[in-house]
Amino acid sequence: MTLTCFGQDPTSQRWWKLTGDDAKALRALPLHYRFMPQRDEATATLIAEGARPAEAVWVDTDALPPEAHEPHPLRVPWGYPGWLESALAWIAAHAAGLHAWKELKSWSLSCVIRAETGRGVVYFKATNQRPLFANEPRITQNLAQRFPGRIPTPLATDPERGWMLLADFGDELRTSHGDDATALALTDYSRLQQQTLGQETELLAMGCVDRRPAHLAREVARLLTDQAALDTLTYDQREKLLSVDWQARIAAFADAPCGLVHGDLHTGNVATGPDGLLYFDWTDACVALPWMDILLPFWPENVDKTQELLAAWSTPLPPWNEIAPLIALHHAVSYRHIRDATEPCVQHELGIMLTLFLQKVAAFV
């Protein structure tokens, strides 16, 4: 059955009180659901458990709407029947058998499964190729060889299908280090990143996406003509955004050395390993200006806290007011591409992020 969602957090509702049936949600709505202007139009698909209610009737598939028959061309592979069985068989084949498993995440960007296997607890991840995404199995394998002990070495990969198997490497940094985690990650990662500055050809050959200043300039020009994105801003925010010569701002860094940019550097993508901090989730891996990784995360409003975190970066930075809007534009470009490569019915999962980063740009003008 399909229900129209009407609560800010439908996952907290007792579905059987709403429907009179035993049911469970197949897809939980994201935490930022409450920010979605279209939330009243969102739906959650449920599957009944137990006995069929006496008044329930089967509906012929011919009576279903057209979208139920023809999957959208942007549907993720794990959205198709039979995919899960294939993934579980692959896990079992590469991990000496499969004893138990649990799907931790299934959304528009990835599917993650925790599995208990003959090789212990492992994590399977599937990602979908997108215009600005690196092939995560391939780039993770290559970076693990380049930085042993600092990037997890996959137990198995299938780059063609975007599949990867990783060992359990412990708690996320935000769990193990609490309030100190962000500064620790910024300091450590910036030191690791220094080893890659100027090695752009090597990084591109490893599978990083080219997002150097010339690329940013082209993408920002397209972004500023994206009416759907601009319409999510207030009039004042749009005026500020469009009042700046961004091409000149970006050109000022045309000759600056670029290096390995993680692209989604936050403390949920860092763990503590025996040889130092361990960095994972490399879908956004690219060659870009190094400070594009300063998310802070999303920059605290407290100015003193921002300066404290910036001081954690291990190399001198250009003035913050010069680079902050370019960082926000870099990530706005990322989310614009994610939006355009996502099936419309699930664009709400990350749709707010494009708006948030454009608002950050305007705030720095």
Summarised one tens digit per residue, pLDDT across range 287-341 is 999 999 998 655 656 677 788 888 889 888 999 999 999 999 999 999 999 999 9
Do 160 and 11 fall into the same domain?
Answer: no
Which is higher by pLDDT, 48 or 207? Answer: 207
Residue 271 has pLDDT above 90, yes or no: yes
Counted domains in the chain: 3
Per-residue pLDDT, averaged over 57-81, amounts to 81
Q: What letters, b where the CB count within 10 A reaches 16 and e where it falls short, cover 199-222?
A: bbeebeebbbbebbbebbbebbee
Confidence (pLDDT) at 46? 52
For 8-41, the pLDDT digits (tens) are: 333 434 433 444 444 444 444 443 333 344 444 4
* C-alpha to C-alpha distances, 200 to 177, 210, 214, 286, nearest whole angstrom: 32, 9, 14, 10
Do 209 and 342 fall into the same domain?
Answer: yes
Confidence (pLDDT) at 81? 87
Which is higher by pLDDT, 5 or 170? Answer: 170
Per-residue pLDDT, averaged over 188-204, amounts to 96
Do 151 and 85 fall into the same domain?
Answer: yes
Asked if residue 61 is part of any domain, the answer here is yes
For 131-144, the pLDDT digits (tens) are: 899 999 999 999 99
Do 88 and 61 fall into the same domain?
Answer: no
Of the three residues 26, 46, 69, the one that is the final residue of a domain is: 69
Going by pLDDT thresholds of 50, 70 and 90, the confidence category of residue 49 is low
11-25, 179-193, 212-226, 266-280: least confident range: 11-25
Do 206 and 344 fall into the same domain?
Answer: yes
DSSP 152: P
Asked if residue 185 is part of any domain, the answer here is no
Do 126 and 60 fall into the same domain?
Answer: no
- Of 82, 272, 108, the C-alpha closest to 188 is 272
The mean of the pLDDT values for the chain is 85
Do 62 and 94 fall into the same domain?
Answer: no
For 347-360, the pLDDT digits (tens) are: 888 989 999 999 99
Which is higher by pLDDT, 210 or 274? Answer: 210
49 contact partners, CB below 8 Å, separation of at least 6: 22, 23, 24
Asked if residue 299 is part of any domain, the answer here is yes
Residue 154 has pLDDT above 90, yes or no: yes
Confidence (pLDDT) at 345? 84
Q: What is the dihedral of CA 305, 308, 314, 315, to 10 degrees?
A: 90
- Of 253, 207, 243, 219, the C-alpha closest to 335 is 219
Asked if residue 330 is part of any domain, the answer here is yes
- Predicted TM-score (pTM) of the model is 0.82
CATH of the domain at 81: 3.30.200.20
Going by pLDDT thresholds of 50, 70 and 90, the confidence category of residue 171 is confident
> Whole domain around residue 58: which residue ranges?
2-69
Confidence (pLDDT) at 47? 54
For 91-132, the pLDDT digits (tens) are: 999 999 999 999 999 999 999 999 999 999 999 999 988 889
Cβ atoms 24, 49 nearer than 8 A: yes
